[in-house]
């Protein structure tokens, strides 16, 4: 979230600087300069619209080709790799492993959408995907939040895994 905010601030700053010399055409033969104040108001309006629509589009996270042959295989593999003593974790620190697994869930839930519907677990997987999204967003910037979300992620994973 902080990265996104910094990105928006950088864009706004560059637009304000560039806006000082902007000219718009009011008709074919004449033009009027946009004042800096008018431009600032437009930018503020755009920012408030973006803030209002901060609901993430989780459907945009996709996988083109899966290494898993089934939803169950995917869930079991994530659970196996999440375990504290897993070989997967032995190659990296815990936060990196958890980030990578959360990122996988974020993307693969959409890939297995039809199978998820067939087993009537859409709500559970949507919740798991939302937690995964929040983990990915908080990684590297909000350590306490990431840890809290990791616990939620594990609880939801265990709940889903128990149904297979």
The ranges assigned to domains in the chain are 2-52, 61-161
pLDDT of residue 41: 54
pLDDT of residue 140: 75
pLDDT of residue 77: 95
pLDDT of residue 34: 40
> Tokens for 9?
């601030």
pLDDT of residue 19: 44
pLDDT of residue 54: 67
What are the pLDDT tens digits along the chain (164 aa)? 445 444 444 443 443 434 433 333 334 444 344 445 554 455 445 444 444 446 678 877 788 888 999 999 999 999 999 999 999 999 998 989 999 999 999 999 999 999 999 999 999 999 999 999 999 988 777 788 888 999 999 999 999 999 98
Task: Kindly give, in sequence order, each residue whose CB lies less than 8 Å from that of residue 108, ignoring residues fewer than 6 positions away.
Answer: 63, 66, 68, 74
- First CA to last CA distance, the chain: 34
User: Do 95 and 146 form a contact (C-beta atoms < 8 A)?
Assistant: yes
Write down how long the chain is: 164
Give the SS3 label for residue 70.
coil
Say what the pTM is.
0.64
């Amino acid at each position: 979230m902080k990265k996104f905010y910094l990105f928006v601030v950088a864009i706004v700053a560059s637009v304000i600087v560039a806006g000082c010399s902007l000219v718009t055409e009011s008709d074919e033969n004449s033009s009027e300069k946009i004042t800096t104040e008018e431009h600032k108001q437009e930018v503020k309006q755009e920012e408030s619209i973006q803030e209002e629509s901060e609901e993430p589009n989780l459907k945009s996270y996709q996988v083109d080709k899966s290494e898993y042959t089934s939803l169950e295989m995917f869930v079991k593999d994530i659970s196996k790799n999440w375990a504290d003593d897993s070989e997967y974790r032995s190659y990296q620190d815990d936060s990196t492993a958890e980030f990578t697994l959360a990122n996988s869930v974020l993307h693969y839930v959409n890939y297995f959408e039809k199978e998820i519907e067939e087993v009537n677990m859409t709500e559970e997987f949507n919740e798991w995907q939302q937690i995964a999204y929040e983990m990915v967003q908080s990684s590297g910037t909000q350590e306490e939040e990431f840890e809290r979300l990791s616990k939620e992620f594990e609880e939801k994973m265990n709940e889903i895994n128990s149904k297979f």
